[in-house]
Amino acid sequence: MNVRATTAETASSPAADDVRSEVGALVARAREAQRAFEHAGQTALDTAAAAAAWAIMEPGRNRRLAELAVRDTGLGNVEDKVQKNFRKTLGLLRDLHGKPTCGVIARDAERGIVEIARAVGVVAAVTPSTNPAATPANKIVNALKCGNAVIVSPSPKGYTSCALLVEFIHQQFDKAGLDRALVQLLPAPVSKAASAELMARADLVVATGSQANVRMAYASGTPAFGVGAGNVASIVERSAVLDDAARKIALSKTFDNATSCSSENSVVIEDAIYDAMLGALQRCGGVLLDAAQKARLQAAMWRDGKLSEHCTAKPAARIAQTAGLDEIAAREPAFLMVEESGFGVEHPFSGEKLAPVLALYRASDFEAAANIVRELYAYMGAGHSVGLHTAHLDYAVQLGERLPVARVIVNQAHCLATGGNFNNGLPFSLSMGCGTWGRNNFSGNLDYRYYLNVTRVAYPIEERVPEVDTLLGEYFRSVGR
């Protein structure tokens, strides 16, 4: 489906005309503001990015946004959202600090190349309900740093939080003398038609959230970056420090009630340490369900093959109550665990759960563990990431060479590490590309460089034509001419 065609070329109706007019007016204001802004110089761009960042980082505003997000979406918990809003934005500022994003940004005298950073224009930012403040803030800061304007299309549940964020950004813009039209929001209620119209009119789409939104972005006719489905697995290899691995997995699984696509959904444990690792996870608050309890949990979590909103991103005790497992809820679990051996739609625990529920797989050795992860990702989550807990660090490179993943996270709390952290070198982002494995056109963390065009000036240099034997000599020696 070509959304550009469906929004611009289908027969008119009063409702469709209203959507086109309303979205068109937003984009026109954004374009006017952006054309002046992109040539205002690096200081202006840096000021705008800082204003948007401080809008969410300031403690009072941060807490208001976190409380509103949990109240209106019913997803996650306030304290973790406060931490996420602050740390993810602080890390982004660290990544952006001192980076040139306008004018000449590089000169290579030997190659005669000069690189000039150019804005992309108006960015359509599609954002999810799971992080209704942190994700739009990340996209807005990146876009502004590169001289762009942004119009956000938030999820309906996350609309109020996103609207308050934009209000806070506008307040900071007023102090800095910046045009409010640089950051705008689709009016409520956000419809699919309005979001599609925005995507079609923008210069770039950055989409995070449901796969339906990502597919719409790719079909919009506008250049787009979208992310793949999450279903992260972590391997615990026999040389791992088990208590450390369990603590990090528990932190990742429970943070913000597992709203992150980077929270482990499965842990694959080598047989030699399976019982010991299970004990370590139990000491971290995990409660293992028996077969009957697992069946009741499955019935509660999936209705007609779809995750139930009554369990998504809820505390483990509440999920247990929803499943009628009052005896489990009374134990106040930090997270629930089920043993699994299968993959696919007939084994829903092998997929993404968006809840503090963990599937445990037993593997005979490291090779078997890697194969289990491959099976999991053949069902869901290809391209995203894999976790590894081990003392043999070279095993991580083996996974990176063999599994369909864009990131291998070694001995870290996965959901805190995958999107960048202060103890690893990945860029801070809440949008992780999954490469062609996940039907994406990029495999990195979506950082500021994806919000830029680069113009290259090529000057003449001394001609250097290589000899054929220099380039093909090895081939000739091994194969012949």
Beta carbons of 396 and 232 less than 8 angstroms apart: no
Alpha-helix runs per DSSP H in 99-190: 134-145, 159-176
Query: Distance between CA atoms of 135 and 137, rounded to whole angstroms?
Result: 5
For residue 10, give both structure tokens: 């289908």
Beta bridge partners of 357: 336
Query: Distance between CA atoms of 270 and 252, rounded to whole angstroms?
Result: 20
- Burial (CB count <10 Å: 0-12, 13-18, 19+), residue 476: exposed
Residue 291: strand, helix, or coil: helix
Residue 457: strand, helix, or coil: strand
> Measured between alpha carbons, how far apart are the two ends of the chain, in Å?
50
User: What are phi and psi for residue 79, nearest 5 degrees?
Assistant: -65, -40
CA–CA distances in Å: residue 399 to residues 231, 301, 393, 406: 16, 31, 11, 10
Query: Distance between CA atoms of 136 and 238, rounded to whole angstroms?
Result: 40
Query: Distance between CA atoms of 221 and 3, rounded to whole angstroms?
Result: 7
DSSP letter, residue 130: S
DSSP letter, residue 433: -
Beta carbons of 382 and 404 less than 8 angstroms apart: yes
Query: Distance between CA atoms of 37 and 440, rounded to whole angstroms?
Result: 30
Considering 261, 311, 415, 434, which one is annotated as catalytic?
261
The reply to whether 261 belongs to the active site is yes
Look at strands 357-363 and 266-270 and give their pairing: parallel
* Cα four-point dihedral sign 388, 394, 399, 400: positive
> Which residues form the catalytic set?
261
